């Protein structure tokens, strides 16, 4: 019998090491599950959401308050999205801290980084679709940051916003990006990323001769582990969605100056803090791009982990890479906390 | 091993899903109305169904809630629903009144139609407080004459031409005043105008804007006041008037401290003389709409806008009071009478009218030459005769109330 | 002997939980999609003063679509929506014909020729206090 795609990425047996929670934290798999939740809840929302400036916020309120289980679907979508960002970051940290980006896995690491960027963009575009007073920072500041890019800034802004300033064309474009453009790219990259995991020899563990743990589990066992993970994540998501509603605010009636309480979405608060320091292009565009570049260069510029060090956390051979990531993570966290500190 | 986990995880999922179903069933059932003026569905009544209808002329099936108050009409979460309400709990505050009560079909239309209430109120002296401010500033040398320059808020006269020539007032600001007395004046004495809610937790608290007069407090001051009426009792006027006296030396307001038992005692401070009219009737029975809401011009003194006198209803020894016979069924007198049905006013009835042509629609000429009046808020019936042909010994040239008091004040 | 062990029971229980969750999920899906956002469109038509329609008149009202009949006994109305698949009927002399698939109806709404099987629907007509004719279209 010829194997199908599912059987291809679930081989007949795999080393048990690859399925241990304490090793992988299940981060990658949870990310895939969250994307599935996002796809289904997002598709359901598409039955009621209206991407028009006059109706968008009202349609979001209709979903949240009037449609049976609409609030649940919206909250699921919101929490799955925020958890996906966190889980993707955990996955990235895990990959670096276990040295699983080296050698043949280098390309997949870059694919994963591209996916991470897409997830951030999806989160951002989805956030703007609310079209209420809460998203105005993202809309005005975010699009104006694009304008600061030299040479291509203005053309890029026009392509993104569809006009001289954010309006109905912007909403339609962000909707198209969110629901189709970015999703298509993310779907392709995700399938490629998962395929590459298998092609690169599965989740990184030491080669068979250097392995301490030689236990293997069957495909059935692997699927059961995955199902348990999905059930637990699903239940956690349901409970979160039942008790903590997604943020909502009155609709935007005209795009005017930001209110004093304007704030970036939580994953950009570190950028909002940096923007207080000076030139918007440098602090708002260049610095985040530099951070991204450093992350992308980790497999290239830092010493690679030795093959017997694979399969465990904090191998000594790629200490520098780990330290670099810790520094980046700490700085971003610190910037976020400083920005959130109440005004004295 | 995993089988055990699978079982437990399945149980947890079932519990979680069951919980979401249970929570959904506990959700409040939304109550919808589609007011005929907006044709847009609103869900405010989900929580506010037991609110009394605000007035017979603003039925909720026609107006709904959002047309006047703003707010998010689809939201069932209180914080979100109320977040875009105009003016908080009072949408008639003068800063937002144009969007709430205005529009050419409502209360900021043509003056010829009598629909320009908002333009008039915003420049009225009860709103601007311009006369008092000008007087105090003049007294303390901050201005060289009594021309009003400042009001409680900045305002422009938009209904030109202006008979007073005053087209604009700046907002009085304590920070722009150099004189210490004027600064204290700003802190202590600017609580009696339509842009102030009065001193907190005292008997002078009221709404701002239109509701300062038209949404009178009931017997108890606590709870929501959701009323619009033209039958304001004197107690509502007394949230500003008859409260006490200013002491210009200490620049404080001294609240009246007398214990009131009778209506007369509760009505006025024990410092004046008053006739039976002045305490049996309510303020709105004599003081006209133009006197209270202004004539569209910015005035320097309340004396410029107050014009009703005893003779307006009673006439003089040589003249009967002015009357008009209602011939046009579209006359504003009928509309006013319909808002507060006291007497069955018909075409052909003759009612009293003021010197400026404002109809006193709660009065009527009787066949025997006497007049009847029904108190707008008290609904009491009064029959009275004109001065002409009576034993009154007045000097026809003296028509001030102090003169009439010499004989007719209640102490005599 | 067929032993139903504890392991089998637990496995069945686990599957049962999943199936039950599945039904709940299906219920959520169905109720979610069943919501109707738009209020039902108005079904009353004010046709003006009754005196505008003399006795014996038959007035075509294509926007409803209906035909208003005033006889000696009063007002009545027939829906001009073909009972086959809903197209608006056209009138020739006293016969209503459907341009879509050729159904024919007589002036009382009875079927003369198919593919329609049922006669035209009678609509409720009333007069209000101001003497206006109010037609209630089929909901």
Q: Give the residue from chain B lying closest to C37, CA to CA.
A: B41
Total beta-carbon pairs less than 8 A apart between chain A and chain C = 24
Provide CB contacts within 8 A for A250, sequence distance 6+.
A57, A132, A133, B72, B80, B83, B84
H or E element, residue B338: helix B332-339
Q: What pLDDT, on the 0 to 100 scale, is given for residue B171? A: 93
Min Cα separation C139/chain B (Å): 19
Q: Which residues of C touch A69 (CB under 8 A)?
A: 28, 31-32
One domain for residues B282 and B401 = no
The two structure tokens encoding residue B374:
């029904």
Let me know: does A76 contact A312? Beta carbons within 8 Å.
no
Lowest mean pLDDT among A12-16, A309-313, B229-233, B382-386: A309-313
**Is A66 in Cβ contact with C32 (below 8 Å)?**
no
| d(C-alpha A148, C-alpha A159), whole Å | 14
Number of domains in chain C: 2
Q: Which phi and psi (to 5°) does residue C76 adopt? A: -145, 165
Return the pLDDT at A318. 83
Dump strand ranges (E) for B273-370: 323-325, 350-353, 359-360, 363-365
In angstroms, the separation between the Cα of residue A59 and the nearest Cα of chain B is: 9
Residue A265 is encoded by which pair of tokens? 């979405």
CB contact under 8 A, C31 and A66: no
Which of C28, C31, C35 minimises the CB distance to A66?
C35
Quote the CA–CA distance of C112 and C131 in Å, as a whole number: 36
So what's the pLDDT on residue B257? 85
Residues B313 and B245 in one domain: no
Q: How many CB atoms lie within 10 A of CB B214?
A: 18
What is the mean pLDDT of the segment spanning C34-56? 80
Same domain, C116 and C68: yes
Residues B138 and B285 in one domain: yes
Is residue C112 helix, strand or coil? Answer: strand
User: Is C12 touching B (CB cutoff 8 A)?
Assistant: no
**B392-408 pLDDT tens trace:** 988 888 888 888 988 88
Q: What is the pLDDT of residue B112?
A: 78
DSSP string, B368-389: TS-EEEE-TTT--EEEE--STT
Q: Are strands C132-136 and C44-49 parallel, antiparallel or unpaired?
A: antiparallel
Percentage of residues in chain A with pLDDT exceeding 90?
Answer: 62
Residues of C in contact with B31 (CB under 8 A): none
* Interface test mutation site (partner B, options A55, A235, A240, A243, max chain B beta carbons within 10 A): A235
The edge-to-edge listing of strands for the beta sheet with C44-49 is: C44-49, C132-136, C122-127, C74-79, C66-71, C58-61
Contacts of C29 in chain A (CB under 8 A): 44
> What does the CA dihedral A162, A165, A168, A171 come to, rounded to 10 degrees?
70
Angle between the C6-33 and A27-45 helix axes, to the nearest 10 degrees?
Answer: 40
- Please check whether residue A65 touches C, CB under 8 A: no
CB atoms B14 and C39 under 8 Å: no
Phi, psi of B317 (to 5 degrees): -65, -25
**Distance of alpha carbon C108 from alpha carbon A333, whole angstroms:** 80
Tokens of B2: 């995993």
Q: Where are the domains of chain A?
A: 17-253
The C-alpha atoms of residue C138 and residue C78 are separated, in whole angstroms, by 10
Report the C-alpha dihedral over residues C13, C19, C24, C28, rounded to 10 degrees: 150
Q: Using the beta-carbon criterion (under 8 Å), do B21 and C27 form an inter-chain contact?
A: yes
Q: How many angstroms separate the CA atoms of A83 and A87, rounded?
A: 6
Closest Cα of chain A to C42: distance in Å?
Answer: 22
Under a CB-based contact definition with an 8 Å cutoff, are residues B362 and B285 in contact? Answer: yes
Chain C residue numbers touching B21 (CB-CB < 8 A)? 24, 27-28
Three-state secondary-structure class, residue B156: strand
Q: Of the candidates B83, B111, B109, B85, which has an alpha carbon nearest to the alpha carbon of residue B96?
A: B85
> Rounded CA gap, A9 and B88, in Å?
59
C33–A47 C-beta distance less than 8 A: yes
Task: Flag if C24 and B14 touch (Cβ within 8 Å).
Answer: yes
The SS3 assignment for B177 reads coil
Q: Are B410 and B276 in contact (CB under 8 A)?
A: yes
Is residue C13 located within the same domain as residue C31? yes
Phi, psi dihedrals of residue B13, rounded to the nearest 5° = -60, -45
pLDDT, tens only, B327-346: 998 888 998 998 888 888 99
Distance of CA C72 to the CA centre of its chain: 29
> If DSSP codes are grouped into helix, strand and coil, which group holds residue A10?
coil
Q: Which residue has the tokens 């105008």?
A: B193
Set of chain A residues whose Cβ sits within 8 Å of the Cβ of C28: 69, 72
Q: Which residues pair with B299 in a beta bridge?
A: none
Helical pair B180-188 and B130-139, crossing angle rounded to 10 deg: 150
In this structure, is the dihedral angle defined by the CA atoms of residues A327, A329, A332 and A333, taken in order, positive or negative? Answer: negative
Q: Among A148, A213, A247, which Cα is nearest to B79's?
A: A247
Q: Is A170 exposed, middle or buried (0-12, 13-18, 19+ CB in 10 A)?
A: buried
Subunits that touch chain C (at least 3 Cβ pairs < 8 angstroms)? A, B
pLDDT at B124 (0 to 100): 93
Nearest C-alpha of chain C: how many angstroms from A224?
A: 12
Nearest CA-CA distance, residue C21 and chain B, Å: 5
Q: Is B95 helix (H, G, I), strand (E, B) or coil?
A: coil
Residue B1 has pLDDT above 70, yes or no: no
The CATH number linked to C130 is 2.102.10.10
Q: Tell me: pLDDT of A344 over 60.
A: no
Q: Among B245, B269, B293, identify where a domain stops.
A: B293
Closest residue of chain B to A221, computed from CA coordinates: B2
Same domain, C73 and C105: yes
* Cβ-defined contact of C35 to A44 (cutoff 8 Å): no
Chain C partners within 8 Å of B4 (Cβ) = 10
Mutation target to probe the C interface, by most C beta carbons within 10 A, among A69, A70, A231, A232 is A69
Which helix (H) or strand (E) segment holds residue C132: the answer is: strand C132-136
Instruction: Judge: A68–C35 Cβ closer than 8 Å, yes or no.
Output: yes
Name every residue whose Cβ is closer than 8 Å to that of residue A8 and which is 6 or more positions away in sequence: A198
Domain total in chain B:
3
Nearest alpha carbon to residue B302 among B315, B313, B287, B282: B287
- State residue A255's pLDDT score: 58
Q: Using alpha carbons only, give the angle B321, B323, B327 rounded to the nearest 5 degrees.
A: 175
Q: Are residues B265 and B127 in the same domain?
A: yes
Which residues of chain B are within 8 Å of residue A217 when distances are taken between CB atoms?
none
Closest partner residue to B6 (CB to CB) among A68, A227, A251 is A227
Average pLDDT over all residues of chain A: 90
List the structure tokens of B35: 């007011």
Q: Are C57 and C100 in the same domain?
A: yes
Interface contact flag, C31 A73, Cβ < 8 Å: no
Range of the domain at C14: 1-35
**pLDDT tens digits for range B71-128:** 999 999 999 999 989 988 889 999 999 999 988 788 988 887 778 899 999 999 999 9
Mean pLDDT of C74-98: 89
> Is residue B207 a contact partner of residue B92, using CB atoms and an 8 Å limit?
yes
A-interface mutation test, from B1, B32, B80, most A Cβ less than 10 A away? B80
Are C62 and C78 a contacting pair, CB within 8 Å? no
The Cα B408–Cα B274 span in angstroms is 8
pLDDT band, very low/low/confident/very high, at B201 (cuts 50, 70, 90): low
Answer yes or no: do C34 and A69 touch at CB < 8 A.
no
Is the distance from CB of A265 to CB of A340 less than 8 angstroms?
no
Cβ atoms < 10 Å from Cβ of A323: 11
What digits encode the pLDDT tens for the residues A265-324? 999 999 999 998 989 999 999 999 999 999 999 988 888 888 777 778 888 888 888 999
Q: Is a pLDDT exceeding 60 seen at residue B192?
A: yes
User: Which residue do the tokens 């007497």 mark?
Assistant: B343
Higher pLDDT, A175 or B269: A175
B333 touches B224 (CB < 8 A): no
Contact indicator for A91, A27 with CB cutoff of 8 Å: yes
Chain C neighbors of A66, CB-CB under 8 A: 35, 37
Nearest chain B alpha carbon to A227 = B6
Residue A70 touches chain C, beta carbons under 8 Å: yes
* Test the A interface: residue of C18, C24, C27, C37 with most A CBs within 10 Å: C37
| A164: Cβ contacts below 8 Å, ≥ 6 apart | none
C74 in contact with B, Cβ within 8 Å: no
Neighbours of chain A (3+ CB pairs under 8 A): B, C
- Token pair recorded at residue B29: 């059932």
Residues of A in CB contact (< 8 Å) with B are 58, 61-62, 64-66, 68-69, 72, 221, 224-225, 227-228, 231-232, 234-235, 238-239, 241-242, 245, 248-251
**CA–CA gap between residue B148 and residue B125 (Å, rounded):** 11
CATH architecture for segment(s) A17-253: Up-down Bundle (1.20)
Q: Are C63 and C69 contacting, i.e. CB atoms less than 8 angstroms apart?
A: no
From B38, B64, B85, the end of a domain falls on B85
By Cβ distance, the residue of B11, B20, B41 closest to C39 is B41
A258 contacts: CB under 8 Å, gap ≥ 6: A136, A137, A140, A141
Spatial separation of the C-alpha atoms in residues B152 and B154, rounded to whole Å: 7
pLDDT at B63: 92
3-state secondary structure of A217: strand
Q: Which chain C residues have a beta carbon less than 8 Å from that of A68? A: 31-32, 34-35
Same domain, C27 and C55: no
Question: Residues B40, B146: one domain?
Answer: no
Mean pLDDT for chain B overall:
89
The candidate with the shortest Cα–Cα distance to A100, out of A263, A291, A306, A259, is A306
Q: Chain C within 8 Å of A107 (Cβ-Cβ)?
A: no
Cα distance between residue A328 and residue A294, in whole Å:
9
Query: Residue B377 — pLDDT band, cuts 50, 70, 90?
Result: very high
Q: How many angstroms from the chain centroid is the CA of residue B361?
A: 19
Contact between C32 and A44 using a beta-carbon 8 Å cutoff: yes
CA angle B113/B116/B122 to nearest 5° reads 165
d(CA B379, CA B385): 19
Check if the beta carbon of residue B110 is closer than 8 Å to that of residue A97: no
Report the pLDDT value the prediction gives residue B111, as an integer from 0 to 100.
80
Asked if residue A260 has pLDDT above 60, the reply is no
Pick the last residue of a domain from B236, B261, B293: B293
pLDDT of residue A205: 80
In sequence order, the 6+-apart residues with CB closer than 8 A to the CB of B114 are B332
Same domain, B146 and B240: yes
Helix (H/G/I), strand (E/B), else coil: A14: strand
pLDDT mean over A120-149: 92
Q: Does A27 reach chain C within 8 Å, measured CB to CB?
A: no
For B44, the domain range is 2-85
């Amino acid at each position: 019998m010829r194997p199908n795609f599912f059987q291809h990425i679930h081989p007949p047996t795999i080393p048990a090491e690859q399925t241990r929670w304490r090793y992988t934290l299940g981060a990658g798999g949870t990310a895939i599950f969250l994307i599935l939740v996002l796809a289904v809840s997002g598709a359901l929302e598409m039955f009621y959401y209206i991407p028009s400036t006059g109706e968008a916020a009202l349609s979001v309120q209709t979903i949240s308050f009037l449609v049976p289980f609409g609030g649940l679907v919206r909250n699921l979508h919101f929490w799955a999205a925020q958890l996906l960002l966190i889980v993707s970051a955990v996955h990235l940290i895990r990959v670096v801290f276990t040295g699983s980006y080296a050698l043949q896995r280098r390309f997949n690491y870059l694919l994963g980084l591209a996916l991470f960027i897409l997830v951030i963009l999806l989160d951002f575009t989805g956030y703007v679709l609310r079209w209420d007073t809460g998203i105005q920072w993202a809309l005005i500041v975010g699009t104006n940051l694009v304008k600061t890019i030299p040479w291509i800034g203005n053309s890029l802004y026009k392509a993104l916003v569809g006009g001289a300033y954010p309006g109905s064309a912007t909403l339609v474009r962000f909707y198209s990006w969110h629901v189709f453009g970015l999703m298509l790219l993310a779907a392709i990259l995700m399938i490629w990323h998962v395929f590459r995991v298998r092609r690169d020899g599965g989740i990184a563990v030491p080669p068979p001769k250097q392995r301490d743990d030689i236990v293997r589990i069957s495909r059935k066992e692997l699927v059961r582990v995955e199902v348990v993970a999905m059930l637990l994540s699903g239940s956690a998501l349901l409970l979160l969605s039942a008790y903590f509603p997604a943020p909502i605010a009155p609709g935007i009636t005209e795009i005017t100056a930001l209110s004093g309480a304007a704030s970036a979405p939580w994953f950009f608060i570190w950028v909002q803090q940096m923007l207080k320091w000076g030139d918007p292009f440098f602090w708002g565009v260049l610095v985040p791009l530099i951070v991204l570049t450093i992350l992308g260069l980790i497999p290239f510029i830092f010493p690679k982990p030795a093959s017997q060090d694979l399969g465990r956390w904090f191998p000594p051979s790629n200490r520098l890479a780990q330290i670099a990531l810790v520094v980046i993570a700490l700085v971003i966290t610190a910037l976020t906390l400083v920005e959130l500190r109440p005004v004295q | 091993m995993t089988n055990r986990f699978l079982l437990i995880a399945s149980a947890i999922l079932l519990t979680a899903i069951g919980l979401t179903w249970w929570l959904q069933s506990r959700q409040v059932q939304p109550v919808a109305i589609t007011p005929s003026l907006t044709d847009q569905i609103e869900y405010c009544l989900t929580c506010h169904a037991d609110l009394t209808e605000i007035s017979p002329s603003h039925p909720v099936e026609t107006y709904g809630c959002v047309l006047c108050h703003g707010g998010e009409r689809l939201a069932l979460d209180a914080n979100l629903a109320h977040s875009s309400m105009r003016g908080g709990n009072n949408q008639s505050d003068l800063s937002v009144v144009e969007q709430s009560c205005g529009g050419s079909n409502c209360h900021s239309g043509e003056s010829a139609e009598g629909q320009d209430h908002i333009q008039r109120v915003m420049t009225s002296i009860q709103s601007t407080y311009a006369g008092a401010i000008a007087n105090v500033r003049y007294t303390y040398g901050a201005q060289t004459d009594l021309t009003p320059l400042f009001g409680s808020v900045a305002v422009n006269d938009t209904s030109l031409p202006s008979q007073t020539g005053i087209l604009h007032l700046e907002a009085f600001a304590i920070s722009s005043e150099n004189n210490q007395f004027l600064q204290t004046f700003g802190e202590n004495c600017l609580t009696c105008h339509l842009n102030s809610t009065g001193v907190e937790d005292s008997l002078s608290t009221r709404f701002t804007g239109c509701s300062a007069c038209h949404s009178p407090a009931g017997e108890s001051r606590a709870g929501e006041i959701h009323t619009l009426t033209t039958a304001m009792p004197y107690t509502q006027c007394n949230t500003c008037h008859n409260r006490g006296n200013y002491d210009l030396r200490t620049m404080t307001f001294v609240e009246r401290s007398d214990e009131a038992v009778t209506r007369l005692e509760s009505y006025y401070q024990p410092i004046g003389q008053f006739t039976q009219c002045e305490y049996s009737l309510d303020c709105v029975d004599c003081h006209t709409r133009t006197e209270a809401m202004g004539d569209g011009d910015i005035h320097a003194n309340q004396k410029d806008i107050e014009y009703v006198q005893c003779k307006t209803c009673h006439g003089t020894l040589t003249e009967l009071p002015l009357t008009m016979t209602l011939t046009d069924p579209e006359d504003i007198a009928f509309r006013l009478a319909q808002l507060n049905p006291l007497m069955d006013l018909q075409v052909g009835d003759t009612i009293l009218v003021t010197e400026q042509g404002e109809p006193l629609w709660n009065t009527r000429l009787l066949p025997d030459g006497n007049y009847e009046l029904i108190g707008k808020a008290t609904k009491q019936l009064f029959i009275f005769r004109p001065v002409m042909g009576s034993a009154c010994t007045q000097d026809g040239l003296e028509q001030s109330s102090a003169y009439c008091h010499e004989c007719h004040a209640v102490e005599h | 002997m067929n032993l139903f062990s504890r392991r089998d029971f637990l496995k069945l229980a686990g599957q049962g939980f999943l199936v039950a969750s599945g039904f709940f999920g299906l219920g959520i899906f169905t109720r979610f999609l069943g919501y109707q956002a738009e209020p039902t469109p108005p079904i009353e038509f004010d046709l003006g003063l009754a005196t505008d329609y003399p006795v014996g008149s038959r007035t075509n009202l294509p926007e409803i679509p209906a035909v208003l009949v005033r006889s000696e006994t009063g007002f009545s109305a027939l829906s001009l929506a073909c009972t086959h698949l809903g197209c608006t009927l056209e009138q020739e002399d006293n016969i209503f014909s459907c341009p879509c698939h050729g159904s024919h109806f007589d002036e009382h709404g009875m079927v003369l020729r198919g593919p329609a099987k049922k006669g035209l629907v009678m609509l409720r007509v009333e007069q209000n206090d101001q003497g206006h004719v109010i037609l209630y279209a089929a909901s």
